Amino acid sequence: MSSAQSTRTDSAAGGRRLWRRRTEATPLSWRAFRRSWQAYALLSPIFILLIVFVYYPPILGLVRAFFRWRPGVPATFVGLDNFVTYFTYAETPHELVNIVKLLVFGLFAGIVMPFIMAELIFFVRSAALKELYRLLVIIPMLVPGIVTVLLWQKLYDPYLGPINDMLRAMGLEHLALNWLGEHRIAIYAIMFVGFPWVWGVGTLIYLGGLGQISDSVYEAAALDGCTGVGRVLRIDIPLVLGQVRLLAILAIINAITAFQNILVLTDGGPGFSTMVPGLTMFHSAFRAQKFGYSSAIGLLLFIIAMSGTLIINRGIRPANEELRQ
């Protein structure tokens, strides 16, 4: 073990000679490393797994985005070709428009709806009912994600689905559409999945933030006559900005990178009307075997998601910590 440890320290100091000089100058650091061999030994399985299976793939993707890359064929460097191909592809503007639509909607559904639900529960006086509601919001999440999507596919079924059955029963035959099969409607039908979007995770995250607000803040507000909706706007929202930021980041990453629901519901159709870059990435890898091109799209999505995250991180600044418990 100690020999493995010494090689590690070697490379950390950048070569054997440098390492020797350093140990002479600061004998403590070398001794500190040696004394801590146990910590490094305990961490080594974690780091071996991380390096091979977590650090390596994204770095490989970053590099191979500039290659023509297929399984079983040596990769060849093609410069920016993959990116040029994607940006000159006729459907790309359409895919980006879809992403913007999904993003705007995702921010609303992921930030606003859970906040409304959290506030409703937070205003409940009875502690027992509060606890009960906190548990009940989770129930829709006990159905596996794929089942929820497949169920919504059934709800949208033009012939056997309850949505159209209901519309027909109300005499609105002309509104009974093929929700997932019409060019103009399909993308909105995909967004509508999960209505009313009271997302348990988001609601609980907000409840955690609201619970942190100090009682003295509320007492002072009540004395000034600031209650109800006014309190929500002037006190609660500024004090849960940390949670808003977290959920905004999750919503942005999700809107830009997620394509599971689209893959299951429409697979990008009808035509190309519900295609998004993530799905193009998926298709080009697993149907067309273009792994380099696919990695390039993955890299683009990463850059977009990362910039969104940075903007949100700069743009939303949580309020003063002193007002929290």
| Residues between 48 and 87 with contacts to other proteins, criterion CB under 8 A | 49-50, 52-58, 60-62, 64, 69, 71
Window 86-115: residues binding other proteins (CB under 8 A)? none
Specify the residue, 105 or 282, whose C-beta has the smaller distance to other proteins.
Answer: 282
Specify the residue, 25 or 42, whose C-beta has the smaller distance to other proteins.
Answer: 42
x/- binding map, residues 222-251, to other proteins, per CB under 8 A? ------x-------------xx--x-----
Residue span binding other proteins (CB under 8 A) among the ranges 83-91, 99-107, 181-189, 293-301 = 293-301
> Tokens 């509060």 — which residue?
130
Residues paired with 213 in a beta bridge: 324
Q: Contacting other proteins (CB under 8 A), which of 82, 164, 257, 266?
A: 257
x/- binding map, residues 162-191, to other proteins, per CB under 8 A? x--x--------------------------
**Euclidean distance between the first and final Cα of the chain, in Å?**
47
Residue span binding other proteins (CB under 8 A) among the ranges 84-92, 104-112, 147-155, 170-178 = 147-155
Helix extents (H) in 224-321: 228-231, 237-239, 241-257, 260-265, 277-286, 291-315
Residue span binding other proteins (CB under 8 A) among the ranges 77-85, 101-109, 126-134, 183-191 = 126-134
32 touches other proteins (CB under 8 A)? yes
Angle at the Cα of 274 (from 273 to 279), degrees rounded to 5?
125
Q: Quote the CA–CA distance of 245 and 225 in Å, as a whole number.
A: 29
Site size for other proteins (CB under 8 A) = 101
What contacts 185, CB < 8 A, 6 or more positions away?
Answer: 177, 179
211 touches other proteins (CB under 8 A)? yes
Window 259-288: residues binding other proteins (CB under 8 A)? 260, 263-264, 278, 281-282, 285-286
Smallest distance from other proteins to CB 106, Å: 14
In sequence order, what E strands does 108-196 have? none
Q: Quote the CA–CA distance of 194 and 196 in Å, as a whole number.
A: 6
- Tokens in use for 62? 């970053």
Question: Minimal CA–CA distance to 235: which of 215, 218, 212?
Answer: 218
Residue span binding other proteins (CB under 8 A) among the ranges 14-22, 30-38, 85-93, 230-238 = 30-38
> Tokens 């410069």 — which residue?
79
Residues paired with 67 in a beta bridge: 77
Question: Minimal CA–CA distance to 258: which of 106, 140, 154?
Answer: 106
Specify the residue, 64 or 190, whose C-beta has the smaller distance to other proteins.
Answer: 64
